[in-house]
Structure 1
């Protein structure tokens, strides 16, 4: 249920009748748009979409969508569509350079996380979330969008300064993924204009373009007839419409506008193949891309019915491909097959696989033959039945959450409608009504007939191999690659046989538990139960969602209770059990749960073990049954174990080709003085130390007894209904003597100042990391001050290292303060940059830290952090996940769970002196590790 393709969701939502309960739908009629979305077009051609939505409260999502991206660039402008996007934050009619970001931070909007933009081949989209608790915020939000639309200043000094930042972004995005993309795009897109216009651009042009080249792109393409404004959130639609008319009605199109180029992807004349290898590739993969087609123009109900049916076929095919990975000798590590978008307005059928030790041949055989099997023989009645249940449960859940759907989800759909030219979906209520009619009516004959037409066979294709240049087995030659795919199409396939499945997960326990004590905390809204077996359960019913229940369980212990000889068995114990399943094999269980929204998984961590789960309101009992089975019936399955271990070995085999993985590995080793007990990126030899029976024994030792477990359930449930369920399934868990306290095994970071350089990678880029660690007592107040320090430093990193000095594109400062297994802290800094600037970057960062140590933070910066905290906290307090994590963490660490109610007061009480003291406490210049990643060429040059 977790893996329903988005195309199914979109199609089911699109398929709607105009009135719930109306007569059978006329398939020739046009699908109506959602009645609660206000759309319009100004006289100048600007399109707008408005939807009032109360989730989250007091927040408005604004978008400026420009139907212009890198594909429109002239030869002297490669990269300038993206550059123009950068300039939108560097001075406009109403905001001086850097003033916009500072203002938005002052009202709680965080740059990068909230305020952002992106440039693609065909569009540029600006994203602006605005708190609506003050009217002036909304007014200013629309003013910002107007400025972006026609008021970017392009001052010469600002352009030259931004060159450095964009060049650093270009550097940061360089690597094996980009090199492989550049090698495959010309053939993938069949020589179209797209292939030579990656949005990031070309270095020589970014360094040397004339000022007018960027201004010309802005003049030509930022015009109202190519723009849309989207406003979704806590706002009256009439007010939003007036603001749009006021801010955008006076915009003018050029007197002689350039024609908006529509780029075609020409059809492939013949099948082709391509082999691309790279010494830094960390995985080997094949992709079979069939004919690229233009999207259908979907207008009528018949169009959308076909779209839904295609999605159902894709879902069933995906399930089959997933099952192939569960074999003892799987043909590939992971794979997928189905229709997928290529670029705006285009789609293709693709089959892809990450390769295992067998290489390309078994993967291509399996992918092509599975597609061919579905094309020739279709799907079974059982597969279709499960798919119908899955789709209907998802649509039902969307309907139940119709008043709790996040504005971000709505806004993304409206942006897509403008960019693709598709009709706006008819809305959740109507979509649910139509799905109720159409989904059950789909017949196996209709689905299989469409599959025979939709699934490709013997048509032009592009077969691509991407992998490491030292892969074993080695990459095939291009002629061999195409021959493998052609031969697989000719090979005989047999009809798939359906397995008979159990109809019940489990019978109710013979001896259900009972509730012994019950404590109600009215201010916190929780009910704490103590069950007859000693298990503690904390229940918090909420109205944040209408159909969501989340669960967590925790107990101390974990891997810390096992010695060095059991290190890998303990580390992988829960993953191994998950791969084999509880009571049922994973693929069988997934089929049995069709039509349910439910998940549950166990984990064994460094200091504890537990479970995480989730369900719809109607599926809480199933979630608790799965939790019960995780304790009582882990399966032993040699074939699935071998499949899991084989895939892990295959993934580890080439991971050390990636410079980032190597850098992370060396950093961990340096920070912990090569202590073998500290988890590092996996190596092939790690799995030589794992034995199935011992890993199973460790799992059972941690879960055979539920002694001292605490479970937390948060969400849309009724207490009277859930209490007997937790008593039945959690209260009946066995409780025997078992170690239930973690051990401090003495793992500690290195002391003193340690500096180490790592030389890895072909790209001319570096990364500087600084890690400050030490012992410190934990308190929530200290944690708040430390977090404020990190957030203020992130503001300064952007202001100084990026905007003022132009040394980086982005950087990050992180903070942690932990109570277990001993009081300790970490302050981490990550700064990608040019190899020649590593010293400057490190010195500048250390200078920022010293300034706060000596002078304290600027009051304005602390105010920005507090405002962002306040905005986020008000939103988080209406989210089940936030409450679950807080309650779970509080009980696991022996903290006061009621502190969640006083966060704003405690945050407001943090002073500049507190932050200054934190800077002195957590940044010890006599005790830190500095790591620098350099390209291999630099070591050779030295």
Structure 2
């Protein structure tokens, strides 16, 4: 249901009317006045809206109501293959021309340009800069080609096979294997169970090109399509372009009917136990009858959904509370009515299981549902849920002129694909504020009673590790039936204080104020030795972000406290603040938007928070309490430790986790301060008293801390709040530097192999690391070099050699604790292709070193960065992150404003020098994952990359 649905998931029903007597509940909801919706004579639908955020950018989409569900038996996987072919040659774009042109205007393949294939639809996503008018016209030409001009040349089809097969290989593992057993039962024999988009390997290898052309001809037709254009555009001109580009598309003669698969009704209850040796978690899922219920489009149905959402919020809070016991029945859980596929919904309960297995989870989830059914919720619970819902819609309304175009286009996609209503935020704000205050407790309780099934057929599923004793299927059904018959009592709701701080702190002072007009910031020096950087913006109407940082962190504690200090901030967050548990805090702050959390990092400590513009006072109170009133709660501590141990028990069952573990331990020579994949035993030595003492040591004083606040606030109004809540914090002497603990990457060439996993999958991990002289410009040169390398790896390894589906390189540079850099290359492939991938990768690196980058490739990177920065500088999150980074690194923050100038100054020679400097073939770590017990798949060892002549 529109944007509210995205914020407040799930749904239910009620038969009350809206408050306006003249509105009939059967009347259809209006269409948002913001969007222009039309339909061409050929049946193609279009949605067009002007939205200036982000500036000079538009979001283009092509949606086709055709997915894998429509595949014939000999086409399984070809809906998804069709999506691939859309990028491999069309009427107006030869193979590779499309991606190259898009990169030249700053659109990055994968990150920006993308697509997905579902069971019922295929969606193509194309965000483009519209600073040049011709970009929009050409962008729509791209969509036009996708809609009706994909060529499917035989050679191009054959060259894409291995890429799609690599994608299929990448998805294999425990989850895939278990899902293949689960899906037929979950969908009760429906076609949805055997038409997963990735398809079948044997068909992908052997299908004839005419088979995929048949799919495209049958289903890529205008009466099943919609085009979306939302962004900084002129709607009237855009409509003319859409009509021009798409009016000539024709529907096929004797078109096949587009029907939607049905899900048969379950006639008897069943249970299913699925285990796998690579599964890392154990999960319980109780699926109740799947009901055919299309999306509502009337005023009455809108009201029903609001009532259902209120109940869902309250039930979610109750189930969350069950996890906050010393011995919780499950680690995480939830019960709700939700969408299964288009037109179908079901009530289900899910739990991530702990050490006691499924029976406690079954009892807790089923009995909580019974408690709600029998006794309903309390007036206080409903009051809090109403406040939360009203505040959420208020924030959406306040940001109506600052909402990102991608949010609007997602809403319109749901309208086309699922039939979801889209009345627009102005209408919704009015409806919600009229309806929600009138909703009664009896109404919500009746809605939940109707939603939570009683005595109906069900499917009970246990999925997990074969290392854990799995219950028999019959035991699961018996346990659910027994739990439904247990006598339950009503939940008592305790009263919550309306105030976070009954006694206000004595304010400190602002002793100095300095304005930076260039950056638009104000710096305040406080009497307790802290400082605050304020940057008011107009990027959002109802958003304020806050952070703080200071050197110190875990580096100040000895090895005996490695785990105590590593988990300090997480544990403190689990216990709440002052007299409030986390749930108490949530209930006390119902109707407000404010949260704060502290962090104790490797070299720094600090905090982060956010609030609505009207709730800055509340956010700053939370900041004060985090320093002055940390909370101790033995039960919540034990709950956290137990849940983390349960999560970590099988953490190394997944082959990729062992690869990551091996890479990090090898790279840093098994240094004890390097965090590896968590083990259950590392939680055994954590001591709550020591954790609290560590926290107090580092947060007993605000001296040396720099706070940052960015967003929609008035400096004059915020200053007294800062004096009250931040300047009043203790300011005693405290160390605010870090200790260099000697964590260094190993020297020389180190190679290791990991043999884990059932599937024929490999992953190559290469890491180059070492000393570097840090500067903002040098970091930019390193990053640009890595981006160009990624372009070449995609061109060579994916498009030319078809050895990978995804993967690539990433690079970072840091000033502290010493100047250093790290470049990591991660490339999933087949075991038989490892050497080919290594040789091609090293060849591309060597080419960068010997010849430098192509000027055209560097230009693509520059264009993408400039476009992204144009967008980023209008985001609060970018500014708070950038300001904090500049201050902690001692860099002039005005460098933010010179970004485009610095990018344009990059030359091919800069990147060539960076490649020579940072890719040292005498100094890297190579770790390769191979499947276990399949040594025959390992390729014959050939040329060793480190034996290439040094650069």
Q: Please, which of 86, 91, 94 is the counterpart of residue 93 of structure 1?
A: 91
What is the CA distance between 1:439 and its match in structure 2? 0.5
Conservation of the 8 A alpha-carbon contact between 2:17 and 2:300: no
Instruction: Please state whether the residue corresponding to 1:936 is helix, strand or coil.
Output: coil
1:548 to 2:546 alignment? no
Cα 1:4/1:154, change in 2 over 3 Å: closer
> What's 2:582 paired with?
586
> What's 1:214 paired with?
212
> What's 2:428 paired with?
431
What is the CA distance between 1:735 and its match in structure 2? 1.3
> What's 1:464 paired with?
461
Query: What are the within-5 Å matches in structure 2 for residues 699-848 of structure 1?
Result: 699-848=695-844
Query: What are the within-5 Å matches in structure 2 for residues 192-203 of structure 1?
Result: 192-203=190-201
Instruction: Please state whether the residue corresponding to 2:933 is helix, strand or coil.
Output: helix
1:500 to 2:498 alignment? no
Q: Please, which of 443, 446, 450 is the counterpart of residue 443 of structure 2?
A: 446
CA distance in structure 2 between the partners assigned to 1:941 and 1:825 by the alignment? 34
CA distance in structure 2 between the partners assigned to 1:930 and 1:199 by the alignment? 34
Conservation of the 8 A alpha-carbon contact between 1:557 and 1:742: yes
- Which has the higher mean CA deviation after the structures are superposed, 886-895 or 296-305? 296-305
CA distance in structure 2 between the partners assigned to 1:750 and 1:884 by the alignment? 34
> What's 2:8 paired with?
8
1:574 to 2:572 alignment? no
What is the CA distance between 1:11 and its match in structure 2? 8.1
CA distance in structure 1 between the partners assigned to 2:460 and 2:350 by the alignment? 10
Conservation of the 8 A alpha-carbon contact between 1:675 and 1:747: yes
What is the CA distance between 1:345 and its match in structure 2? 1.7
> What's 2:163 paired with?
165
Cα 1:27/1:189, change in 2 over 3 Å: same
> What's 2:654 paired with?
658
CA distance in structure 1 between the partners assigned to 2:120 and 2:766 by the alignment? 39
Conservation of the 8 A alpha-carbon contact between 2:16 and 2:300: no
Q: Please, which of 349, 368, 371 is the counterpart of residue 370 of structure 1?
A: 368
> What's 2:411 paired with?
413
> What's 2:933 paired with?
937
CA distance in structure 1 between the partners assigned to 2:145 and 2:132 by the alignment? 21
What is the CA distance between 1:25 and its match in structure 2? 4.0
> What's 2:945 paired with?
none
What is the CA distance between 1:115 and its match in structure 2? 0.4
Q: Please, which of 175, 178, 202 is the counterpart of residue 176 of structure 2?
A: 178
1:640 to 2:636 alignment? yes
1:264 to 2:262 alignment? yes
Conservation of the 8 A alpha-carbon contact between 1:377 and 1:495: yes
Conservation of the 8 A alpha-carbon contact between 2:119 and 2:196: yes
> What's 1:132 paired with?
130
CA distance in structure 1 between the partners assigned to 2:423 and 2:181 by the alignment? 41
Instruction: Please state whether the residue corresponding to 2:266 is helix, strand or coil.
Output: coil
Cα 1:839/1:498, change in 2 over 3 Å: same
CA distance in structure 1 between the partners assigned to 2:711 and 2:934 by the alignment? 55
Conservation of the 8 A alpha-carbon contact between 1:774 and 1:825: yes
What is the CA distance between 1:493 and its match in structure 2? 0.8
> What's 2:239 paired with?
241
Instruction: Please state whether the residue corresponding to 2:482 is helix, strand or coil.
Output: helix
Q: Please, which of 883, 886, 891 is the counterpart of residue 887 of structure 2?
A: 891
Cα 1:5/1:674, change in 2 over 3 Å: farther
Alignment: residue pair count: 933
CA distance in structure 2 between the partners assigned to 1:855 and 1:17 by the alignment? 72
> What's 2:518 paired with?
523
Query: What are the within-5 Å matches in structure 2 for residues 593-604 of structure 1?
Result: 593-604=589-600
1:557 to 2:552 alignment? yes
Conservation of the 8 A alpha-carbon contact between 2:552 and 2:737: yes
Conservation of the 8 A alpha-carbon contact between 1:859 and 1:912: yes
- Which has the higher mean CA deviation after the structures are superposed, 403-412 or 341-350? 341-350
CA distance in structure 2 between the partners assigned to 1:244 and 1:888 by the alignment? 44
Instruction: Please state whether the residue corresponding to 1:185 is helix, strand or coil.
Output: helix
Q: Deviations over 1:30-72 (max 9, x none)?
A: 2111112111111111111111111111111111100000010
CA distance in structure 2 between the partners assigned to 1:116 and 1:32 by the alignment? 32
What is the CA distance between 1:834 and its match in structure 2? 0.3
Conservation of the 8 A alpha-carbon contact between 1:69 and 1:123: yes
What is the CA distance between 1:297 and its match in structure 2? 4.7
Conservation of the 8 A alpha-carbon contact between 1:508 and 1:728: no
What is the CA distance between 1:237 and its match in structure 2? 1.3
Q: Deviations over 1:675-733 (max 9, x none)?
A: 12211111111012211100110011010111100000000001111111111101001
1:145 to 2:143 alignment? yes
Query: What are the within-5 Å matches in structure 2 for residues 324-343 of structure 1?
Result: 324-343=322-341
CA distance in structure 1 between the partners assigned to 2:455 and 2:10 by the alignment? 30
Instruction: Please state whether the residue corresponding to 1:138 is helix, strand or coil.
Output: helix
CA distance in structure 1 between the partners assigned to 2:66 and 2:383 by the alignment? 43
1:513 to 2:508 alignment? yes
CA distance in structure 2 between the partners assigned to 1:702 and 1:403 by the alignment? 42
Conservation of the 8 A alpha-carbon contact between 1:9 and 1:391: no
Instruction: Please state whether the residue corresponding to 2:812 is helix, strand or coil.
Output: strand
CA distance in structure 1 between the partners assigned to 2:833 and 2:505 by the alignment? 68
What is the CA distance between 1:445 and its match in structure 2? 1.1
Q: Please, which of 379, 389, 392 is the counterpart of residue 390 of structure 2?
A: 392
The unaligned stretches of length 5 or more in structure 1 are none
Instruction: Please state whether the residue corresponding to 1:523 is helix, strand or coil.
Output: coil
CA distance in structure 2 between the partners assigned to 1:232 and 1:197 by the alignment? 32
TM-score by length of 1: 0.97
Conservation of the 8 A alpha-carbon contact between 1:17 and 1:430: no
CA distance in structure 2 between the partners assigned to 1:444 and 1:789 by the alignment? 61
Conservation of the 8 A alpha-carbon contact between 1:788 and 1:915: yes
Cα 1:317/1:435, change in 2 over 3 Å: same
What is the CA distance between 1:10 and its match in structure 2? 9.2
CA distance in structure 1 between the partners assigned to 2:75 and 2:169 by the alignment? 18
CA distance in structure 2 between the partners assigned to 1:914 and 1:30 by the alignment? 61
Conservation of the 8 A alpha-carbon contact between 1:600 and 1:612: yes
CA distance in structure 2 between the partners assigned to 1:701 and 1:403 by the alignment? 45
Cα 1:941/1:212, change in 2 over 3 Å: closer
Conservation of the 8 A alpha-carbon contact between 2:604 and 2:738: yes
What is the CA distance between 1:939 and its match in structure 2? 3.8
What is the CA distance between 1:296 and its match in structure 2? 3.6
What is the CA distance between 1:846 and its match in structure 2? 0.8
CA distance in structure 2 between the partners assigned to 1:332 and 1:10 by the alignment? 22
Cα 1:633/1:134, change in 2 over 3 Å: same
- Which has the higher mean CA deviation after the structures are superposed, 337-346 or 94-103? 337-346
What is the CA distance between 1:28 and its match in structure 2? 3.3
What is the CA distance between 1:26 and its match in structure 2? 3.6
TM-score by length of 2: 0.97
Q: Deviations over 1:279-333 (max 9, x none)?
A: 0000001000111112245132111100111111111111111010001110000
CA distance in structure 1 between the partners assigned to 2:614 and 2:34 by the alignment? 29
